[in-house]
Structure 1
Amino acid sequence: MDLTSEKEKSQVHKFFAQCIERLKGSDKQLPQVLTMRELCLRGFAVHHSGILPILKEVVELLFQQGYVKILFATETFAMGVNMPARCVVFDNIVKHDGTEKRVLNPGEYTQMAGRAGRRGLDTTGTVIVLCKENTVHQPDVLKQLMMGSALELKSKFRVTYSMLLNLLRVEQLKIEDMLKRSYVESSSLRESINLQLDSMSLLNCPICDNSIREFHSALSHFCRNRREIWPKMNREPAINKLLISGRFLIVNNVQNQLENEIVLLLKEMVNGQRRSLQILVAVKNLDTAIQLDQHADKFQKSLTDDEATWQTEESQILATAKYGTCGSRHDSDTTASLWNYRVCEVPVEAIVAVLKKQVKQLASSEIVQDYQRNMIPRFRSEEVSTNTMKILQQLSQVKTAMQNEEVEIYTYAELAANCQNIDLNMEVSFLGAREMELRDREKFGAQHCADFETHLLEHRQRVRVERRAEKLKFDLSSDALLLSEEYQNRLAVLQNLNFVEPNKMVSLKGRIACEIHHQELLITELILDNKFHSRPPAELAALLSTLTCQYNSGKERLKFEEGSVFNEIRDSVTAVMTRLESVAAKHKSQIADVGCEIRFDLMEVVYHWASGMPFSKIMELTDAQEGLIVKCIQRLDEVCKDVRNAGRIVGDPALVEKMEEVSASIRRDIVFAASLYTSV
């Protein structure tokens, strides 16, 4: 396939030759250079981290000029400011972010898809998402990808060893002040929240004005304590016996849209330490059950933990205010609920009350199997079985009896009496006392207001904003920042390794580490363990490459020739790293962050490069892509500069001279070719 005209080929050939002319000798004949030239002549190109830097720049310039018609690129290219295209094709909408595979977020999709459509040339841009191997992306996934809101900007600030050492070295600057500055967007957010609070109108009701805040606080504490106490009570043998198959319960679970609903317990589900309840809920028809299932799935996937907690609290507070502490929702027509049913799972925390009513010898597994069968489209028209219909009739009767106050529930006093644990007994009794307070309508006059529910919702909106302001205030406080686990753990590691004195003064060892910007602890230990002096420049380059290599060959343990210097280097570096990691593990920390681990995959390659071997010969020794090798060596040069500066702190001119020799041995030819953007 050929997409360029003869004139365009001539321009590409001339430009490519001009750019490659700066390379020396055999570098001009590298397979990647020859392949890329052939591709560009035909109007194609490739752009990713494995491509040589000079070739990536050639591709970028040719693409901007319109000579490259089809470009295969990673998302990094799409971040370019001036890289528009007529059409953007997504080979996949799933990416690996260094930790796991996930779907692109809306911001990433928009950034890449936004390249489609050249300003002044195209009226529209085309974006295509490929569906390979007969797999079609789910509509809700695509809708979220294309129409979802961009991710909120959040501080990616991390406490690092280098940052701690440099801040401790400057007496005039407190660490907490530096940490506060990293949360500058939180300060702006707090200001906007305070403005939002000021703009909210105060509740203007003579009945609710004085007592609604107090009543809301009491409701909030009661509901939270009830959620926390039921998982504990469920572990008490006597109470666990009450939660048997066939027991009628009142539950409140916002995920399944259950607002103090009377349900039938089918069985208790145990998954490790987590316990939940499988329940039967009466619904009007099977379509309603399907919609509720879909809502439950969406709720779990789309909400953050904070939002889910807030909605759970709101559902329970409003239901408690409406129906009472142990009341149930009143169905306007109990017969309508006999048409069908739904089986779902709720956490133990969703329990509001346990009724002294149960269905004996309940065939729960049969009910669940019938429900699962009814969820299959071709069986949805089947009627509810006779046995299940009888169960639904009993459920309807219990609901009616509950409305008429003819059904007893287990009181907190009765539940407390069944608790063998003394502390739990006291907690349940205390919850019972709080319940009695909430039932006192004279204590909380807001309950007498005709618009009580509306006013309670308005107050909830204000409480939500107030809580956000309080959380931000605490997050920005000195106490919260200094007591952060990450800060304390990393400081303990530095003190244990003698980088920092007990009085938090930086030691000589710490001052050396301050000069190093990558793997500072490991390199400092290698310097002070005298691992550098006895090695020639090529071996030192190989040793330091273990800290800058990002290529992973996939082999668990690389095999080098028996007695080679590479085995010795690996053992030496590994021994020091193991010692550091054991200290960090004691303090629940780590030495190397994700993506900065030591790798030995390019040690031999760097050794030969520092020894003067041509790049073309080096490519015969490894499967690593050219771009990754160049990146490793370029980063290695930066590390050499850091170690040289550290040598000056130690007062070791021999180390300074040796690092200059290492740097001189690697700074040559294609690896350090000048950028086209500054020299063409």
Structure 2
Amino acid sequence: MANIFGIELDELDEVISQPERPKTFGLLPSTSVLKRPAVPIPSSFSLPTTRKSKFKAPRLKSVTLPTEAGCLHEVVLPVGVDRFKSLTPISQIPAKTYPFKLDPFQREAVLCIENDQSVLVSAHTSAGKTVVAEYAIARCLANKQRVIYTTPIKSLSNQKFREFTAEFKDVGLMTGDITINPEATLLIMTTEILRLMLYRGNEITRELGWVIFDEIHYMKEKERGVVWEESIILLSDRVRQVFLSATIPNARQFAEWVAFLHKLPCHVIYTDYRPTPLQHYVYPCGGDGIFLAVGKDREFNEKNFDEAVGVVRKAADNAKSDASMRGHRGGSQRAVTYCSKLIKLVMDNNLQPLIVFSFSKNDCQFYANEISKMEFTDDKEKAAIKLITSNALESLSAEDKKIPQITEMMPFLRRGIGVHHGGLLPILKELVEILFGEGYLKVLFATETFAMGLNMPARTVLFTATRKFDGQSFRHLSSGEYIQMSGRAGRRGKDDRGTVILMIDNTVSPDAAKQLLLGAPDPLNSAFTLSYNMVLNLLLVEDINPQIMLEKSFFQFQNYASIPILEQKIEKLDAEYKNIGISENINIEDLSNLLQLRRAIDDLERQKWQLSMKYKYSGPFLVPGRIVRVESDSGVDFGFAIVLNIRRSKKRDPDSGSVLSDSITADVLVRVAVENPEDFTNPIILDPEPLELSSFKPIDEFDIQVAEDEDEEERSPKVESKPHSSSKKRKRPWKSNANSKPQPAKKLKTSTHVAMATIARVPLDCLHDMSTVCLNFKTISGADPKNSSALVGKMAKLPPPLRLKFWEGIDRAKAKLNGEIPLLDPIADLGIKNNELKKCLENIHLLKARFADNPLSTRSDIDQLVHNHERRIVKFQELRMAHEELNKKESLLQLDELHSRKRVLRRLGFCAEDDVIHLKGRIACEISSGDELMLTELLLDGFFK
């Protein structure tokens, strides 16, 4: 590290340390004008060496096949295959016929199955994906092959078992709770059961012809998504697969992974066709009705939505007075009242059956209790419900029938009210599903698991909330989750439209609600994670090991897929980096030292003015017309501005009268670049809350021609200046502020931004470089500079072109003073006697001397050199980070974690150094829920005797 006059450059941060300022400045310009935090200056410009990994991103070819309107058909070819053999039309008798005409996407999927090729069907809920599954089953049975149908939850397995038993003869069911006919040709099971069978090498898996994965989009779940990946990887290449999914934007990427894994083509059939269109309504809590937000044509009704938001805000304001008295219970009671009102509205308009989605088991029960006195069934329906429930509970003993959960549920069911969530007994959940499917339940309160593939459509869906607990924290629903649940509205062949009602309150921002209503489906991203159970099971399997599982995971595949994009990014950055040329005769170390000194001086200047701008020092000088520089706390320079008024407000304690806070702000006339000047009114508060402030840009970021008006020439302000001890007429090469130099005539560079002089209110510590120049406002008609508040009002009424005329006065001041505006000296002019300020000024003087001692400081092109070097540093850091990211992506992810887990297993005696499984390891392999290592240790220690 270079040494300049006895101080190491890496010690400069200590010399220029400055206290933090509150984050109150709300301007958001582009990064091109950001001065802090500066990009660190690298010690060398050498890039990291890219590791050559044996794992490379697979290159697969996809072909789009011609199809009917309404669906998209693509096929992904495995590695090494460049040509696709056309599908053979169904010429013989099909494996299954239907009493209705198939939709285009169904016909395309059936054609793929007939040609013995795997297929992913991505379509909306209730679009008819089950037709494809039924055809695959029928073809397997016709060919005397076994077929497995997997589901994400037990409830869906039970429902499919009932449906397929009526359609096919030899059907079995395997869930964690029950096993029926496990030797059947068609087996319905949860995905966890299939994974366990594959790990154990079950004989059934050797006889498989097809596997159908229902609701494959749940592979993105953090807790259970890895189960789907393990199962797909472990399946034999000779087994064909059908994947049924909700709409996913990256369906082709998933098909590429399957084709890469099993070295066979995989088709993608995608459709966004919805047989029953949906209408989305918004119910503002506190309102009297619902507002149509999205119609059947998917057009957003902005007027209705804004009106609903207005009702929410009004209701929230009215509720503030009694919110503290009611507390949480009062809020819950109001929510119940709103929900009950909506249920009555739905019933009055004959829009039942209704599914009410809540994201808590307690909420489901709570809402049901609140409407328990409502009657939705007639005598005939009550008799049918009684008969079905008695038959369903017949297998239970008399004692079991008295279980509180059962006795409490029966009155609800007889009234046509149901509750469905994970906390119910399996027999009750199945009973509720049967009654709802038969149409006896008119209102069903359910959690989101009810939307996981269960074929239980309703006419109307109601959301009582937009936030849920995901196991870690409360968050808003994603648009994909909303699409999945709202898709339960609208019964195909029964309803001409489905109705969705979203309850919103003041906790939901309008943007979040709009995103929910119009958002796109969630992409299918891998949630692959290692577990001790997985590692131990893979060590037992002969043909695969944990490292191969990592290599074949969808997680790793998605990582590989981003490599080509990253390589293109590196190529582009490298070209940009090389284009920023610096002459070979320039010493890079001197240039870096110069840049670091300039940054240090800038920071010390900020610290100086932060100390100087305390109101007790600066107040007498902050008069209307004073020229100051406005700079945000993040280092964004908005150039020189004109002080109009100083505002001071004190917040006092209502009891003691003591001052709690003292806020001092300045109203300044500042020149900015905006896209829509008519959107801004004066004065504008510069804090993070007003959304429109994100449109502000510093004027120097754009080349903008300011139109001149000769008729207003005489209205331009005059300049008054007096000599001070701080006035200097020499150039300051250490100063990086472009505003300190005369600006040439500007030309229009962009049509999207225009120059505008606006009145802004800024915190006092955002004012810098208080100059000796003070504009004379006497020439403005009716403006009294002594009445600064009135001056702000007068200035706000001036036309924008006339406001910009004030900068002509600033430019004339620069011209008279050799191109620079002289600044007030904090000690000589402001009379500040502060040791910290004195030390700051001494450091500035010392660093300026070191700057002048640098051999490059006297060059005429020093500004351009420093600017290019800083751009070069920024580009180099971007290039270095891209290379590091590429190295990471070309390596095997989670490999270090795998090695760590193996070390733990060896130390605890679950496996040997050569990965041979011990008895403890075999026991742990059988534990699929809970902490397998801890439970195994407790079991062997005799804890459960």
TM, length-normalised to structure 2: 0.36
Relative to its length, the structure with more helix (as a share) is: 1
Relative to its length, the structure with more strand (as a share) is: 2
Of structures 1 and 2, the larger Rg is shown by 2
